[in-house]
Amino acid sequence: MKVKVPIEMECNIHIYKTQFTPNLIAVDKLTGKADHHRMLIEIDPILPNSQRAQTLCHERIHIMDRQYSLGLSEDDIDRLAEGVAEFIVKNLGIELDWSLIEEK
CATH number of the domain that residue 79 is part of: 3.30.2010
Of the candidates 12, 1, 6, the residue with the CA atom closest to the CA atom of residue 61: 12
- Domain membership flag for residue 103: no
The runs of H, that is alpha helices, within the chain are 49-67, 74-86
Range of the domain at 77: 2-97
pLDDT interval class at 35 (50, 70, 90): very high
Q: Which amino acid is present at 1?
A: M
Q: Which residues contact 76 (CB under 8 A, 6 or more apart)?
A: none
Query: What is the pLDDT at residue 91?
Result: 96
Instruction: Check: CB of residue 32 under 8 Å from CB of residue 58.
Output: yes
- Domain membership flag for residue 102: no
Sheet holding 8-11, edge to edge: 8-11, 14-20, 40-43, 32-35
Rounded-to-integer distance, Cα 104 and Cα 87, Å: 29
Q: pLDDT per residue over 50-84, tens digit each?
A: 999 999 999 999 999 999 999 999 999 999 999 99
Rounded-to-integer distance, Cα 32 and Cα 45, Å: 9
- Domain membership flag for residue 104: no
Residue 12 has pLDDT above 90, yes or no: no
Helix (H) or strand (E) holding 4: strand 2-4
- Domain membership flag for residue 83: yes
